[in-house]
């Protein structure tokens, strides 16, 4: 017995994956997603396509550029012989994302210190004469 596969038209599919139909068509034009066609030539997608778009969006969310996404998709289509190259691409995306996170954490820390400095100015626990630069030195001296 063959299990039937659920088909989603582009509008429904777009809602399911959180993209516009315009974006889905763009991804198709770029070769990132392949739609299927029924006997009348109407575009449709399947559950498997939902998972694939989800993965593409994860990669995109890490900051992977469109050309790298296209390269990844091309390599995937070439089969298992490209696994080492794909793995290297994913490792680079992971390393880049971790570097971005570290930079954001540093920015958040400075923002937190600035907020604390303002609070200290308002509640007079920081001298009026102490600049933010001098305040930051307290934290740099601890390192």
Query: What mean pLDDT is predicted for residues 64-89?
Result: 95
Report pLDDT for 138.
84
The whole-model pTM stands at 0.73
Structural contact between residues 76 and 82, judged by C-beta atoms closer than 8 angstroms: yes
CA dist., res. 118 & res. 140, Å (int): 18
For tokens 């390599």, name the residue. Answer: 75
Report pLDDT for 40.
93
pLDDT of 12 strictly over 70: yes
The proportion of the chain whose per-residue pLDDT surpasses 70, expressed as a percent, equals 96
CA dist., res. 110 & res. 22, Å (int): 39
Report pLDDT for 128.
87
Tell me what percent of the chain is helix, strand and coil, each rounded to the nearest 5: 70, 5, 25
How high is the mean pLDDT of the chain?
Answer: 92
Residue 4 dihedral angles phi and psi, to the nearest 5°? -75, 145
């Amino acid at each position: 017995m063959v299990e039937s596969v659920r088909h989603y038209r582009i509008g429904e599919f777009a809602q399911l994956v959180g993209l516009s139909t315009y974006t889905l068509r763009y991804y198709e034009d770029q070769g990132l997603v392949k739609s299927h066609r029924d006997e009348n030539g109407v575009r449709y997608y399947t559950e498997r396509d939902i998972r694939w778009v989800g993965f593409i969006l994860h990669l995109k969310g890490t900051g992977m550029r469109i050309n790298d996404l296209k390269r990844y998709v091309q390599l995937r289509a070439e089969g298992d012989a490209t696994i080492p190259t794909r793995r290297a691409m994913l490792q680079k995306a992971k390393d880049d994302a971790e570097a971005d996170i570290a930079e954001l954490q540093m920015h958040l820390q400075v923002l937190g210190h600035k907020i604390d400095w303002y609070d200290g100015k308002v509640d007079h626990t920081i001298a009026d004469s102490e600049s933010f630069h001098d305040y930051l030195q307290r934290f740099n001296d601890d390192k």
